[in-house]
Structure 1
Amino acid sequence: MVSLLTFYSKMISKKGKDRWLNRIPGFLTGVILATFLLIPIVNAQSIVEQAWGYVRVVDIFFMTFLVAFLMMFIKKYEWEVAWMTCIVLAISFPIYVFLKAELLQQYFSVMPATPGVYLWGIAIVMSITLVIALGVPLGQLKHWQYAVLAVLFVPAFLVMEWFQWEFLEGVYDAGGSILVHMFAAFWGWGVILGLQDKRESVIEEGMKTTVTSVGWVWLAAMLLFMLWPSFVTVLLPPEEVVSTTITTYFAGFGSMITTYIVLYAIDKEIDPLIYCYAMLGGLVSIGALCDVVGIWTGFGIGLAAGVISALGFRYLADYLTRTTGVLDSMGVMQLHGICGIWGAITAIPFAGMVEVYAAVFCIVFAIISGAISGFIVRLGGRVKEPFEDSDLFPVESNRTEDTF
């Protein structure tokens, strides 16, 4: 205390006062320069982050519609797939934003979120998860039942999101192997288990395709491959985007290679639909570790994912249909479900048992909440003709024999 008083007494002495007064202009000049130089830098960084996020969010909107084209290969069932994607996006996105930003944050202080790139990013991730999930019961529902399922899906996704990111700590899943892909597959399976539509017209009637419809699947698959890094990096800081992007691509390269090898080894030819789907398996699996591992680990994960997905389409799909009596219309389990599980398994050495807890909860909760949702929409009756656009559109006046 005495030393402080001595110091201040010297400061206010005439000689000390003159010295400090002479330094004031320089000090003020430094403050002004720092203000004008640093504030633009901070603002520029914020603008760059917003721009990075904006581009990725728009990419995921594009991917959401591409998923529709990926599923648009069944003869006489194409328009309703596109309509379904539009309507569930338009319903689920606003509901999610309202529940998260207006209800949960303001009244329950849970999962804080303010309107901005982060909120729009996770909202469109939720919506694309819903579109993927509805690939399981696709064609087995009346058109309005898709809208009901969109409403029921949002709170279920919020519960899963809360459990994984707030209740648990240390889960590795920046790219959504668990939150998006596993949850979509098992929630969708819960829906068809709740529907219990075991009619022969659903299970045994072959899904007829055309060269043109399969061409759309090829295009959608390749564009989804190209845009996938935007999906897995949407919630990451800009400095991690480039490294995560190249790791993601390497995982995709791996599944492209092994999908071809496995399918050709089994059949001596390539089923184009299976290839278009299974080649994306590496991109699904790398989601858990996309921001953690390097390109060669990612490549290895993708190699294994291609094998897993290709074998799943060749053998697991028929087994699941025979044992449950219900149909996974788009093979969501074979791409998103088992490849998502593989992604979670690869993250266990990094995250520990918390990764197991997240994956197990995802499977159990997704099936239960999906089954409840399926049972609810089942009360509204079953569609007369599965996999048929005439449920919603006046197709007969637009069809000719040579068109289909």
Structure 2
Amino acid sequence: MDDGKSTLVGRLLYDTKSVLADQIDAVTRASVDKGLSTPDLSLLVDGLRAEREQGITIDVAYRYFATPQRSFVLADTPGHVQYTRNTVSGASTAQLVILLVDARKGVIAQTRRHAAVMALLGVPRLVLAVNKIDLVEDPATVFGEVSAEFAEITSALGWKPDAVTAIPVSALHGDNVAVRSENTPYYDGPTLMEHLESVPVDAEPHRVNLRFPVQYVIRPRTAEYPDYRGYAGQVGAGSVRPGDEVVVLPSGIRTTVERIDTADGELDVAHAGRSVTLVLADDVDISRGDTIASPEDAPEPIADFEATVCWLAEKPLHPGARLLLKHGTRTTQAIVGSIVERFDEQTLSTEPSPDSLSLNEIGKISVRVADPIVADDYAVNRHTGSFLLIDPAGGNTLAAGLVGDAIATVEAAGVVAGAE
């Protein structure tokens, strides 16, 4: 299924002059070797030999670029069902996702699958790029029908109309990618690049106060710092300032922040996403995996909970499986108690009490962990509400999980919108 995703990303990079001259030369030579008369821009992101030979994306390719208006991190993810795990990985931290469809095929099962996955992951905004619009006989009608069908799907999944934008494009020729096209007189909206530069994408919305998973305890034990004890990590939500009262979880001990250290000196405040070292006023027993949080809304550590998971392994998941669960900086043993339900992303319905979850299937499970985790509901905070299930023998990632019932939220939205 070659819908042109990598070509679209390559076109974005090329038209925004975010590609070095030697890269363009290499792509041009490779394109000539393939018998092409123009550069195959998909080669800018399809870096694996298997991808170049098959003409499809099978891994996540990250590219970084900037325009005068914004800086971007692009994750080119595969659309094939067997690579859903790669899509989950690429979209898990996205503020906006571009779903691309071939104008000749319209909305297909994979479009619905990925829209449902984006809803479960809480992606705030979507763009529908209707690609290869130059290859259909009546582009205005096709674009209208495809965008209307997609709007019905996204409405059923809970997105508001202003959070979804449809744009007709030709990634091969550059129509409406970075340059407005005269070939689409029926469309008067922004180009894809104009939309990306102007759409409101605020910093990750955190509906909770401070969450600071401790990654490392720093004890230099030198003559210069004989009594230094700092707690290093990344602020997962909220912000922290010297003088703030905090609580250490799961122990529940309270103290205050004495200062915030970084390699460049002390800070007056550290916001979500900043990696810092916190020095506390009291000598508290804290280790990797603990969480420093605001006492105002500190979550209760949980050992038994239900979660939504996307199963990513070839071997199916069965009740009673003993796995490792990685949440933030804590890794603990876990047992899957039951598979509560399996989600059908095509019909937005659920099957209660299935025997298993197979590769790429989404379901709700019950979990018991050996060491309590400090988690928020994923709908409240994506950073502290997500986790991984890991094979204890091989260390492979088996599932991406969301604390809480994301399926119920999506299913309820479908019922309200009249999804069948």
Q: Which has the higher strand share?
A: 2
Q: Which has the higher contact order (CA 8 A, sep 6+)?
A: 1
Q: Does the TM-score normalized on the shorter chain lie above 0.5? A: no
Q: TM-score, normalised by structure 1?
A: 0.25
Q: If you compute each CA radius of gyration, which structure gives the higher value, 1 or 2?
A: 1
Instruction: Compute the TM-score of the two structures, normalised by the length of structure 2.
Output: 0.24
